Amino acid sequence: MLTMKTRIILFILLLTSTALSAQDSTVLSPKAKKSYAIHNKGYFFDVGVSAGASFPKGVSPKAILEVYTTHGYQFSNTFSLGLGVSTYNTESIIAYLQLRFNLRKIKETRTSYPYISLKAGYSWSTWTGDTWGDDKGPWEELKLGWCFYTKEANLRWSVYAAPSLYQFSFIPKIGLAFEF
């Protein structure tokens, strides 16, 4: 059963992405439909989910479910920079900066390509300690992924593996993201 805090965090993450997506679509004329076949310069966002496990030092492993969204600017079809927010099991909130490098030049004829993403940020716990945010610290992640374009749905999505480090915890995970 989801607690009220969990519902609020998930609602904020989804609302942010939906609002920005709607704003982006109103910029286009009613007849123009944005194609996600290539990464054009300008605003982008992605939403995703990943599953993994945390291996804190001296403690039993713990299953992790992450929900996140990143918003930023695509400088070329191979490089983007963004800011994002994420949550692990709704027990932490992570604010981060993301650098993403597509490892191939994206063309309309290419439907898939590999990429690497570096994320660095700061995490605040929503549960641990006497007050909100007592358990906090730096967070890093290296994401290795493969991005796909589905022409019929005009949809860009990716799968990835991402080892993360938070304080002295190693968190390997796999995930799925949708890119807009």
pLDDT digits (tens, 9 = 90+) for 27-48: 444 455 677 777 778 999 999 9
- pLDDT tens-digit series, residues 100-155: 999 987 776 678 999 999 999 999 888 755 555 567 889 999 999 999 998 888 88
Structural domains counted in the chain: 1
Evaluate whether residue 34 is within a structural domain. no
Q: Give the structural domain span for 24.
A: 4-28+44-179
CA dist 143 and 90 (Å) reads 21
Is 38 inside any structural domain?
no
Is the pLDDT at 26 greater than 50? The verdict is no
Q: What distance in Å separates the CA atoms of residue 56 and residue 8, rounded to the nearest whole number? A: 27
Q: Could you tell me if residue 53 is inside a domain? A: yes
**pLDDT above 80 (res 175):** yes
Residue 8: phi and psi, rounded to 5, are -65, -45
Residue 36 lies in a domain: no
pLDDT of residue 79: 94
